[in-house]
Amino acid sequence: MKSLSQKLTLAAASLLLAASASAEIGTASAADVTLDGSPADAFAYMAGWNPQAGPGGDTSGFGTTFDAFGSGGWTLLDKMNTTTGFSNTGTLNFSFAEITGTNGTWSVTNTSATQALQLDLVFAIHAGNQGGAWLFDDQNVLATQTLAGTWMINWTVGQGQGNSPDFSNATIFAREVTPVPEPATYGMLLAGLGVVGAIARRRKQA
């Protein structure tokens, strides 16, 4: 005969199994999050995953899904939840807004007045004890530029019911952050090379 503690342990285990079984990816896909009018390049989903867990975030839900788009470790850029916004202490600042509990808008702003950036950018959401992450591969953000996007939760909780959970928190990760010359910088460089070439030709003729 099982003791009360054994019965409670078995009941808790059954509840965990039931919760895991009730989580479904539904119709969630890379198209659920956009930035600057384009859908994400890749999407990763994992039941029971909170991308915001831990001081540096949790990237375990990416698995190998994003490996085909680059290499290197991921850095937590910022995170927010339903009561606190993004801290926005770095060069890239983020905004997040809910239209309903399952969809809304977001944006990224490069606060530098002179430096454009190229990076692998991941926008991740935790909802209903599930995690979804969207990769924007080799994303360019020009100096002072703001890129606006949309987000939507399409995974479900409640097996067979098709109910999408409300947003809980959002986390931003990045890797391969590379400063890139602005178009104006290219123009100045070409003009400078032209001047150097002209001087060289004059010296040769003399």
Within a domain: residue 8? no
Q: What is the DSSP letter of 14?
A: H
Residues 97-116 have a mean pLDDT of 97
Within a domain: residue 190? no
- pLDDT, greater one: 163 or 206: 163
Q: What value, to the nearest 5°, has the Cα angle with vertex 149 and ends 180 and 91?
A: 40
The whole-chain average pLDDT of the chain stands at 84
Is residue 25 scored above 60 in pLDDT? Answer: yes
Who contacts 26 (Cβ-Cβ below 8 Å, separation ≥6)? 154, 155, 156, 162, 164
Specify the number of domains making up the chain: 1
Within a domain: residue 188? no
Is residue 201 scored above 60 in pLDDT? Answer: no
Q: Is 168 left (phi over 0), alpha (psi -120 to 50) or beta?
A: alpha
Q: Looking at residue 121, what is its pLDDT?
A: 98
Q: Looking at residue 80, what is its pLDDT?
A: 96
Task: Report pLDDT digits (tens) over 60-70.
Answer: 999 999 999 99
Q: Whole-angstrom Cα distance, residue 172 to residue 75? A: 9
Residue 23 · residue 130 · CB < 8 Å: yes
Q: Which of 10-14, 41-45, 47-51 has the lowest mean pLDDT?
A: 10-14
Is residue 77 scored above 60 in pLDDT? Answer: yes
Within a domain: residue 171? yes
Is residue 202 scored above 70 in pLDDT? Answer: no
Q: Looking at residue 157, what is its pLDDT?
A: 86
Within a domain: residue 163? yes
Within a domain: residue 122? yes
Q: Looking at residue 178, what is its pLDDT?
A: 96
- List the domain range (segments joined by +) for residue 44: 19-181
Q: Looking at residue 60, what is its pLDDT?
A: 97
Statement: the pTM of the whole predicted model exceeds 0.85: no
Within a domain: residue 137? yes
Q: Whole-angstrom Cα distance, residue 92 to residue 88? A: 7
Is residue 57 scored above 80 in pLDDT? Answer: yes
What is the full DSSP assignment across 67-130? Answer: GGG--S--EEEEEEESSS-----SSEEEEEEEEETTEEEEEEEE--SS-EEEEEEEEEEEETTE
